[in-house]
Structures are given as C-alpha cells and as structure tokens.
Amino acid sequence: MEVYLGWFSYYLITLPIFIAHTYLVAYLLVPYFLNKRLFPIFIVLFLFLFYGFSVLELLLSNEFIYRWYQTGTELREDYLAPANVIMSGLGNLYIVLVFLAARTIRQWYHADTRSKELQHIELQQQMENAITRVQPHMLLYAIDHIDRMVSETSPDVTKAIALTSELLNEVMIYHEEQNKLFSGEIELVRKLVSLVTLLRESIPDVDFFISGDPGLIKMPPMILFTIVDMIFRKFEGESSLPELNIEASGFSNMLTVQILTNGIKRRDESTQECLLAMQQIESFYRGQVSMSIESHSYGCSVIISKTDSPPENTIHPQTNVINTSEQVIN
C-alpha cells in the first residue's frame, strides 16, 4: 500500500514538470519556430528543454520523492549521468508526442469541419445568386399566365413571351454589372410591372418616390424586385392587386414599401401577408438588411435598411408617401 501511495505522490508532484514541458513545446516552440521553419533554433531549444526538464525531474525524484515516499526505487549517486537523463527524458517526450498528436488531430478535425461549413456557405451563396439571377418564381408565374393566354388564344401571347425573355435577360445583365445602381433595379421593377399588366390584363398601381441621390442608396441586389414580385404572386388569387407606394431615401439609405390593400383583404389578413413576406425576404437576405413592419387600416408598410445603417433617420425624416404632393418618379 505504501508503494502505491509513493508512486501516486511521484506522479502528483512531477505532474507540473510534465505539463510545463509539454506546454512550452506545444505552444511556444512549435508555433513560433517549427511552423515558421526556424529549424536550427527549434532543435536547440527542444534539446535544451528536453535535457533541462529531465534533470529537474531526476533531482526532484531522487532528492525528495524517493527519500520521503516508499516507491521501491533504489537510490543511486550517479542518477544525473547523461544516459540516465536521456532515459528519464524519453518518458516525458512520450507524453509530449502524445499531446501533440492529439492536438494535431483536434486541429485537423476543426479545420475539416470549418472547411465543410465554408463549402456549404459558398454553395448556398451560389444557389442564392443563381435564384436571384434566374428569378424562378417570377418565371413560373409568367409561364402559368402564358399557358392560360395560349389556351384562351390571346393575341398578346407573343408579346408576353418576348417581354418575359427581355426581362430575364436584363435581370442577368444587371447581375453581371460591377457597380449595381439602385436606379437600374427600379427600371427592372418597372418592366416587371409592365409584364404583370400584360399577363393580368390590368395595370398594377405602383408609384415610386425618390428622395436624395439614388446613387447613395445601397441595398442588396434585387431586394426591391423580389419584394414586388412576391407581393404580385401573393395576391394572385384576388380580383385586383394592391397599390404599392415605394419610397427610397438616399439620405437615410432606407427603403419603404407601402402595401395598400384597399379592402381586398381584411386588416388581419393583410398584416399576416406582410409578416410572411417580410420573413421570407429576411431569410433570403439574412444578415444583410433589417426589416420592420407597421400595420395600418389601409394595409401595411415594410421598412428596410441595411444592417450597417442606423435604424432611423433623424436628419432627413421620411416623407409620407400617401400625402406627398410631388411624385418624383412615376
């Protein structure tokens, strides 16, 4: 029993030596010298630590532990002989190598996991970019209506096909532009309104109000186009589309979309539609914009700002697009 207690005391007392040696090699020599290819300095310091900690362990063991605790080890006068120091250091070296191997495997695992996460994010980003370029929902919406027009032998079928193709082409060209101006996206929305007018045989009431310099409006590409397209599709089953008032501010870099249902749906239904649309847009442009919604008796308003923009504009307050007498762009 005394022997077991003696060896337990040995490992407990010498543990700080093993920890200090391992820590210095793993967190000092390897990153600062080995990884930087300073091999001569690494070898000299490694051998110095190897020999120094071996001597320290032998001194502590032979001068204190073996004399005070019963371990069954024979005391020798030449315990500091080079051969004994090397033999003692090999045990400590084994601990260092096991720790380095475990640390390397752990770093490899985390690096592999991070690489897979980055690949997944990159793939997801590519898919989102492809979706934004092609606008599949808008395309399917147009195809459904064109099918209906074909079955009804409408004379506007050829024009609808040409306008759909032209709009998709301009969307893809817009995505290829290095400097995407918000005014370019407004023109795409105008062409979308023209397409919906042709497909539904009724003119959607969409008005634009621009304050400040449009070149200062920095929003994620196609966010306004996606919102307007989503609203048109959500009200597809209704006899008429809601009125849209779109205010873009170059002063505050904010975008406000007022959806005026005009009795098409009850207030609670309109609010629910706004909430659902906002959630879908936020999930698609996650982390890029912040969105808030205001419910009104006539519909709702969706306020969009970039995440790095202040939540509200205190220098140039937003105008009320309902009461604005001057329409900048129509």
Specify the pLDDT at position 132: 56
Say which residue the tokens 């009104």 belong to.
Answer: 296
Specify the pLDDT at position 235: 81
Q: For residues 289 and 308, give the distance between their C-alpha atoms in angstroms, rounded to a whole number.
A: 8
Specify the pLDDT at position 321: 36
Pairs from 156-160 (Cβ < 8 Å, separation ≥ 24) = 156/198, 159/198, 160/195, 160/198, 160/199
Specify the pLDDT at position 320: 38
Structure tokens belonging to residue 133: 């370029």
Per-residue pLDDT of the chain (330 residues; tens, 9 = 90+): 667 677 777 777 788 888 888 889 888 888 898 888 898 998 999 999 989 988 888 888 887 777 777 666 666 777 788 888 888 888 888 888 888 888 889 888 998 888 888 888 777 776 666 655 656 677 788 888 888 888 888 888 899 999 988 888 888 888 777 778 888 888 999 999 999 998 887 788 899 898 888 778 888 888 888 888 888 888 887 778 888 999 988 888 889 998 887 666 555 665 676 677 677 777 777 778 888 888 777 778 888 888 764 444 333 333 333 333 333 333
Instruction: Return all residues near 197 (Cβ < 8 A) that are at least 6 apart.
Output: 203, 204
Domains of the chain: 2-128 (no CATH), 135-306 (3.30.565)
Count of Cβ atoms closer than 10 Å to residue 225 Cβ: 21
Specify the pLDDT at position 317: 35
Specify the pLDDT at position 45: 92
Specify the pLDDT at position 323: 35
Instruction: Return all residues near 192 (Cβ < 8 A) that are at least 6 apart.
Output: 138, 167, 225, 228, 229, 232
Threshold 0.95, pTM exceeds: no
